Amino acid sequence: MRHHIIDAKKKKRIFDIIQIGQREDVVSRGFDIFIVIAILANIAVLFLETFDWSARYAPLLHGIEVVTVIIFTGEYLLRIWTAEYLYPKKSRGKAVWRFLISFDGIVDLCTILPFFFLSGFVVFRMLRVVRIFHLFRINAYYDSFSVITAVLVEKKNQLISSIFIVMVLMLASSLCMYSAEHEVQPEVFNNAFSGMWWSISTILTVGYGDIYPVTILGRIMAIIISFLGVGAVAIPTGIISAGFVERYTQIQNQNKPGGGARGTVSVTVDETSGFYGRLVNEAEKEYHIDIVAFIRSGTVIVPTDTTKILAGDVLIYQARDTETA
């Protein structure tokens, strides 16, 4: 039994080390820096291999890639091994499965697979690009990245609606342009997809100029579509900008002495707290609260639903109305 407890403590310690953003833990911070160096080295090899002169350094570049992939594989296995600490409310099997299908789990797997199947299908070679997403870990738990992800999650319904409007506009404009230009330029506007390519490059203000209308009707429609495109593309930009302003205003109000919304409560989490080890959405659902922000190691973090609450975090939350809880 004692041996089992010691092993559990070691396992928990490994989990704490491989987690990101533990500023007060020197070993954890050292591991973060080590992983970041490995990621940057791996991506550097990915870029350098595209140059012709890199052939003379092929053994060195391949060696760096082998070492970094071994590091990534070891980290991936450790994260699978300690998955129950990442999802403490789930069983061992469910926790592992949750990690495997999570964003981090998929990126980790896609980082490793191309090395073993590099000479195979093109899709595996293309997966090497996914390694770049590993860089998200550098800033995963800090204010800037947290605000961006929180705003995108909070405004997702509005963003989806605005993207839907843009898609409808592109479909309508592509069909209109095809109808107006096909008889005059059959080799250019030979199908609806050609019109789609024109509408995308016009609405998104890229304007390659490889496809353009020559008829009077086509040019009139192009002018109208261009004006509509400017407005349509500006919609998601405005939504995101407004979300940033709301979030930062909310955080600033919480940090003012006596500030914050009415009914705001702050509490420091320890290992005996009911909040400890939970994901934000789990805590909000169980305790009928809205977690506005929390402070971790002196850094204000705007949480997402899947942010994990750790010991030492200072939670800032509001109680929900009993009718809406």
Q: What is the pLDDT of residues 131-160, one digit of tens each?
A: 566 566 555 555 556 677 777 877 888 888
pLDDT > 60? residue 320: yes
Q: Give the torsion through C-alpha atoms of 271, 88, 310, 74, to 10 deg.
A: 120
CATH code of the domain containing 135? 1.20.120
Both 217 and 288 in a single domain? no
Q: Could you give the angle at which helices 156-181 and 143-154 cross, rounded to 10 degrees?
A: 70
Please report whether residue 199 resides in a domain.
yes
* Structural domain ending residue among the three candidates 112, 140, 168: 140
- Which CATH number characterizes residue 242's domain? 1.10.287.70
- The one-letter code for the residue type at 2 is R
Q: pLDDT by residue (tens digit) across 167-203?
A: 888 888 888 888 888 888 888 888 877 788 888 877 7
Domain boundary among 89, 107, 140: 140
| Strand 264-268, strand 289-296: pairing | unpaired
Asked if 201 and 113 sit in the same domain, the reply is no
DSSP secondary-structure letter at 307? P
Report pLDDT for 1.
54
Has residue 324 been placed in a domain?
A: no
- Mean pLDDT value across residues 251-278: 69
Taking residues 115-139, what's their average pLDDT?
Answer: 59
Contact 310, 266 (CB under 8 A): no
Same domain, residue pair 308 and 247: no
Query: Is the same domain home to 166 and 212?
Result: yes
Q: Answer yes or no: do 78 and 175 share one domain.
A: no
Residue, of 325 and 132, whose pLDDT is higher: 132
pLDDT tens-digit readout, 43-94: 888 788 888 888 898 899 889 988 988 988 898 899 899 888 888 878 888 8
38 and 116, same domain (yes or no): yes
Q: Could you tell me if 204 and 120 lie in one domain?
A: no
Position 40 in a domain? yes
* 166 shares a domain with 41: no
- Give the distance from CA 157 to its chain's centroid: 17
8 and 135 fall within a common domain: yes
pLDDT for the residue 205: 64
Whether residue 151 is contained in a domain is answered as no
Distance CA 293, CA 94 (A): 28
Domain CATH number, residue 304: 3.30.70.1450
Q: How confident is the model at residue 125 (pLDDT cuts 50, 70, 90)?
A: low
Per residue in 266-315, pLDDT tens?
788 887 788 888 888 888 888 888 888 777 766 667 777 778 888 888 88
User: Which of 252, 284, 307 marks a domain boundary?
Assistant: 252
Report the first-to-last Cα separation within the chain, whole angstroms: 42
Within 8 A by CB and 6+ apart from 291, the residues are: 280, 283, 284, 303, 315, 316, 317
Establish if 145 belongs to a structural domain: no
Q: What are phi and psi of 266, to 5 degrees?
A: -120, 140
**Do the beta carbons of residue 263 and residue 319 sit within 8 Å?**
yes
Together in a domain, 13 and 123: yes
Judged against a pLDDT cut of 50, whether residue 208 lies above it is answered with: yes
| Domain shared by 125 and 226, yes or no | no
Residue range of the domain that includes 236: 156-252
Residue at 65 is within a domain: yes
Q: What is the mean pLDDT of residues 215-231?
A: 85
298 shares its domain with 238: no
Residue 30 scores a pLDDT above 70: yes
Bridge partners of residue 290, in order along the sequence:
318
Please state the domain count of the chain. Answer: 3
- Inside any domain, residue 85: yes
**Residue at 25 is within a domain:** yes
* CB-based contact 149:240 (threshold 8 Å): no
Which residue is listed with tokens 């496809």? Answer: 211
pLDDT at 67: 92
